[in-house]
Structure 1
Amino acid sequence: MRIDIVTILPQLMESPFADSIMKRALEAGHAELHFHNPRDYSRDKHKKVDDYQFGGGAGMVMQVEPLALLLDELKNERDYDEIIYMTPDGERFDQRMANFYSQKENIIIICGHYKGIDERIREHYVTREVSIGDFVISGGELAATVFCDAVIRLIPGVLNDETSALTDSFQDDLLAPPVYTRPAEFRGWKVPDVLLSGNFKKIEEWRHDRALEKTRLRRPDLLEREIENNSEKNAK
């Protein structure tokens, strides 16, 4: 997978990918990250990439020309499965979306700043707009980092245990069940007996029941979504 990231602050994103799972994934060639700065495409002598809004209003807007020139160059080099703009008013990012993009080959992610990007980029280049939540942060870099981490870790070969990602929270619309490790007893706090039984059928049943219970208590909306999805499948 290749991800091209359009950002005026590439240094902000480099650190999270220089350690741990993401570092190994990049070094092993499971994924490629390439950063592109719109300032390199600015015709302004000061490499300015923002300007005031037409019609007035607080906040600057990222200009159309530097972004368009950068995106044109990238698109001339290869075909892209998606051009994503990270924005608070985009579609909510979730595990299903992460699963979907982990199977793609080439993606562009645009990181906005200030009041956002000129609407013409959204109209003529962006194919999907994505949000990591109903809140506003200083720029799209942190949101893009979250997106990339969630997607790359799902690529086969990235995790040491390939079944690990399949048991994460939100797979199958359930939160993950409780987990325990040694010692089996600490300060009188005991690990559930079923986990020590060696009966893997009962262990899996226990885990599913606990996941269902946790989801019902903390995120009942996930169960409602699963019911809706099943109803749609049955109606087809």
Structure 2
Amino acid sequence: MELQNRVAIVTGASGGIGSATARELAEAGTRLVLAYHHGGERAEALAAEIRARGGECTVAQADVSTKEGAGILAKTAVEAYGGIDILVNNAGVTRDGLFLRMKEEDWDQVIDTNLKSVFLCSQAASKYLMRSAYGRIINIGSVVGLTGNAGQANYVAAKAGLVGLTKTLARELAARKVTVNVIAPGYITTRMTESIAPELSEKMAEQIPLGRLGQPGDVAALIRFLAGDRASYITGQVLQVDGGLVM
């Protein structure tokens, strides 16, 4: 229970990495705000599971790509638990397509959800994080933000921008003992990747030195570490969870 009574917001909590993260942080003793935009039934089921195991959590619906939505999450955490110690910016979407054919609305939606939301949620939470003398911001990026990927100009741009935003926030907030890091997962088995044909998944696994696709728990375990005391001297870093795919 290394995070006993710490307060954490997890965006995109109804997704694979989000729900695995919520379970890890609950096991470590945090009091959780599970944020979702779509997938309310999954979020409520996750909350019921955590409570059944003795954890504390509340569920909040919000569009984190808007200032209003980000404010709702900060307000929910403060009203329910008195502050904010940890923010996990995990919300994300994909709208893939070749660059020359990509619609402007697909570009905007991915940038707003995957990058703008991190700016807004971090801004809304920062005054409470700075007061805690402990604050942690953990952003979920992607290895494609480091390498590029055909057919994902919008997603790659958002994840690459997240690296720069993370490093800037790490510099600005360091004086208040707030650490800011970004995790760059590789191929992780989630609902977002379920539509990939089995033969393509096999080809992906062949490219990975460890020989398998990642699981949400592989990412969640690192989030739990970064949220804890033992990671207090780590900030402004990009940490890859990719089985050795990008070296």
TM, length-normalised to structure 1: 0.25
More helix by share: 2
Answer with 1 or 2: which has the greater Rg.
1
